[in-house]
């Protein structure tokens, strides 16, 4: 195997600061927090949604409903990937009809995951609007999709891999960039 | 780890990991059927053919709904109105269907092994929806799913299967599935309906109805199959229901949290009394609901790639 250069590009404080800022921005754009719901994309997006939800509660004292989205059944590359992805549960325990949905994922890259997520949400009902929050935007979009809230823009080459690791899932908060 | 074969012909062929993968996937599929828009785009452009050589409402409808909720195109062929009545062989029917390039064929046939013949001669995936007295794998999977949902786990549970074991593909598939998942299986029925050497499948034969009911976590009642030989193996329906039927009086000796299951269609008042079939412990309709989720899971796992 080729030698891989592994570099940590974000530490726990930076991740925390990004989320704090995103929480403030979400509340700024959606003043009262009325009809606001958070939907995280499995799996790191769910962890980030949980953190954002508790930050919003700290800042504004409002309880925002949270949902979990698995986009497996909406992927456009099922026929192309070698191993079939394992299906996990979608758990959105509220109606999205007329809600202000904040969709959350860790990394925005080609935009294909977000396209799948948008279709999945709209199949659940017709929200008032959907906004997108991501911890990192690494560029290289293949679809006309952009985020409303970005923790950090990270210029990357397509040969690099970005991995977000979070305490709840991986035991540590960090972002790693790795050349393949 | 995905499923190893392109087909689902038997429970016997499945590993424990494969069974658990199917049940876990079904668990995630179940929610789709509770939505306002009960459809996801996963199998768009895939073609599924339901080829039923025996009558069926539940299983055929369940496969059709499962396919449609995943956006597949589902075609039903009932053999009474097809070229089968003109004498076409199974293999020829299969070849002709294959020429139209389906992705999956669901087959029910009165002859054991018929799905295997189709699986060997077609490149499409085959699901066995019941072949003779051999196997009915999707029924056993939905039964296992239902038990697991209620009890959390199947390991260590005591499960009784009561009725015409000899002619029951449901019993055979369930025995394989429950054994693999670690349950203790007890069977009971008229001795004319207990196959010799059935113990070799890893089950215990109860000596009385009381023994088959007491201490059981799950009791599965089998249908008396009037359309098969069943009716020649006992003197009368009335006598069968007295000695082998499940009624409220019998249930007094059962565990307080016993689950009552039946693959349907039920013969009310024969193998199961209406009070039991409609009672609080009966899961008969939940089994049907879960059947759709389990079949959606199988369709995804077999052709969702």
Q: What ipTM score was computed for the predicted complex, to two decimals? A: 0.85
Q: Enter the tokens of residue B100.
A: 């139209």
CB of B54 within 8 A of CB of B84? no
Give the integer Cα–Cα distance in Å for A39 and A42. 10
Query: Do A90 and B37 lie within an 8 Å CB cutoff?
Result: no
A86 to B25: CB separation less than 8 angstroms, yes or no: yes
pLDDT (0 to 100) of residue B214: 95
CA angle A177, B1, B2 (to 5 degrees): 120
Q: Which residue of A has its CA nearest to B45?
A: A79
Q: Name residues whose C-beta falls within 8 Å of residue B23's C-beta, 6 or more positions apart in sequence.
A: B141, B144, B145, B148, B294, B297
Q: Tokens 């952009």, residue?
A: A146
Which of A68, A87, A112, A120 has the highest number of chain B CBs within 10 A, making it the mutation to test binding with B? A87
Q: How far is A58 from chain B (nearest CA, A)?
A: 32
Q: Compute the distance between CA of residue B131 and CA of residue B275 in angstroms, rounded to an integer.
A: 32
- Please report the pLDDT score of residue B81 as a whole number: 66
- The pLDDT value recorded for residue B2 is 87
Provide the pairing of β-strand B184-188 with B204-205.
Answer: parallel
pTM given for the model:
0.92
* Interatomic CA distance for residues B302 and B46, integer angstroms: 11
CA distance A12 to chain B (A): 33
10 Å CB burial of residue B214 (0-12, 13-18, 19+) is middle
Stretch (H or E) spanning B287: helix B284-303
SS (H, E, C) chain A: CCCCCEEEEECHHHHHHHHHHHHHHHHHHCCCCCCEEEEEECCHHHHHHHHHHHHHHHHHCCCCCEEEECCHHHCCCCCCCCCCCCCCCCECCCCCCCCEEEEEEEEECCCHHHHHHHHHHHHHCCCCEEEEEEEEECCCCCCCCCCCEEEEECCCCCCEEEEEECHHHHCCCEEEEEEC
Mapped onto helix, strand or coil, the DSSP state of residue B235 is coil
pLDDT value at position B232? 77
Report, as ranges of residue numbers, the positions in chain B whose pLDDT lies below 50.
Answer: none
CA atoms within 13 Å, Cβ hemisphere of A134: 21
Strand-pairing partners, residue B131, are: B109, B135
SS3 B62: helix
Interface of chain B toward chain A, CB-CB under 8 angstroms: 2, 21, 24-25, 27-29, 31-32, 35-37, 39-42, 70, 297, 300-301, 304-305
What single-letter DSSP state applies at residue B123?
Answer: S
Alpha-carbon distance of B39 to B87, in angstroms, equals 38
Q: At B30, list the tokens.
A: 């179940």
Residues from chain A that touch B300, judged by Cβ atoms under 8 A, are: 73, 87
Neighbouring residues of B153: CB distance < 8 A, sequence distance ≥ 6: none
Residue linked to tokens 């927090």: A33
**Residues of chain B contacting residue A124, judged by C-beta atoms under 8 Å apart:** 35-37
- What is the pLDDT at residue A141? 96
CB-based contact B53:B282 (threshold 8 Å): no
CA atoms of B145 and B11, how far apart (whole Å): 14
pLDDT tens digits for chain A (180 residues)?
455 678 899 999 999 999 999 999 999 999 888 899 999 999 999 999 999 999 999 999 999 999 999 999 999 988 888 788 999 999 999 999 999 999 999 999 999 999 999 999 999 999 999 999 999 999 999 999 999 999 999 999 999 999 999 999 999 999 999 988
Residue of chain B nearest A70, judged by CA positions = B28
**What residues have CB less than 8 Å from A165, skipping those under 6 apart?**
A171, A172, A173, A174, A175, A176
């Amino acid at each position: 195997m080729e030698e891989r250069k592994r570099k940590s590009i974000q530490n726990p404080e930076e991740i925390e600061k990004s989320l704090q800022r995103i929480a403030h921005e979400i509340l700024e754009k959606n003043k009262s927090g009325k009809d606001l719901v958070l939907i995280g994309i499995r799996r790191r997006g769910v962890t980030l949604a949980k953190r954002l939800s508790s930050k919003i509660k700290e800042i504004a004292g409002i309880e925002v409903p949270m949902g979990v989205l698995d986009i497996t059944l909406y992927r456009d590359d099922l026929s192309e990937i070698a191993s079939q992805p394992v299906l996990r549960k979608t758990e959105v325990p509220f109606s999205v009809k007329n809600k202000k949905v904040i969709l959350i994922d860790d990394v925005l890259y080609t935009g294909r995951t977000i396209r799948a997520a948008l279709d999945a949400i709209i199949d659940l009902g017709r929200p008032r609007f959907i906004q997108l929050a991501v911890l990192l935007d690494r560029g290289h979009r293949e679809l006309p999709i952009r985020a409303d809230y970005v923790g950090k823009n990270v210029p990357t080459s397509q040969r690099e891999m970005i991995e977000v690791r979070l305490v709840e899932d991986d035991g540590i908060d960090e972002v790693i960039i790795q050349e393949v | 780890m995905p499923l190893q074969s392109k087909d689902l012909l038997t429970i016997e062929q499945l590993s424990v990991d494969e069974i658990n993968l199917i049940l876990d996937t079904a668990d995630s599929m179940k929610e789709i059927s509770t939505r306002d828009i009960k459809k996801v785009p996963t199998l768009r452009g895939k073609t599924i053919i339901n080829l039923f050589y025996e009558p069926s409402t539940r299983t055929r409808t369940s496969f059709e709904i499962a396919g449609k909720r995943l956006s597949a195109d589902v075609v039903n062929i009932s053999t009474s109105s097809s070229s089968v009545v003109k004498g076409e062989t199974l293999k020829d029917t299969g070849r002709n269907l294959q020429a139209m390039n389906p992705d999956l064929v669901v087959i029910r046939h009165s002859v054991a092994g018929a799905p295997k013949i189709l699986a060997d001669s077609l490149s499409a995936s085959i699901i066995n929806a019941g072949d003779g007295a051999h196997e009915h794998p999707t029924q056993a999977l939905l039964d296992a799913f239902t038990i697991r949902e209620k009890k959390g786990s199947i390991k260590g549970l005591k499960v009784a299967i009561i009725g015409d074991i000899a002619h029951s593909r449901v019993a055979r598939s369930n025995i394989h599935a429950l054994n693999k998942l670690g349950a203790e299986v007890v069977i009971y029925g008229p001795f004319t309906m207990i196959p010799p050497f059935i113990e070799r499948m890893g089950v215990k034969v109860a000596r009385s109805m009381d023994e088959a009911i007491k201490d059981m976590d799950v009791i599965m009642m089998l249908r008396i199959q009037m359309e098969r030989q069943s009716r020649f193996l006992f003197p009368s329906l009335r006598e069968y229901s007295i000695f082998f039927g499940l009624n409220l009086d019998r249930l007094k000796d059962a565990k307080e949290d016993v689950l009552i299951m039946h693959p349907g269609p039920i013969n009310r008042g024969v193998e199961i009394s209406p009070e039991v079939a409609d009672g609080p412990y009966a899961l008969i309709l939940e089994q049907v609901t879960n059947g759709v989720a389990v079949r959606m899971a199988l369709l995804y796992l077999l052709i969702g790639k």
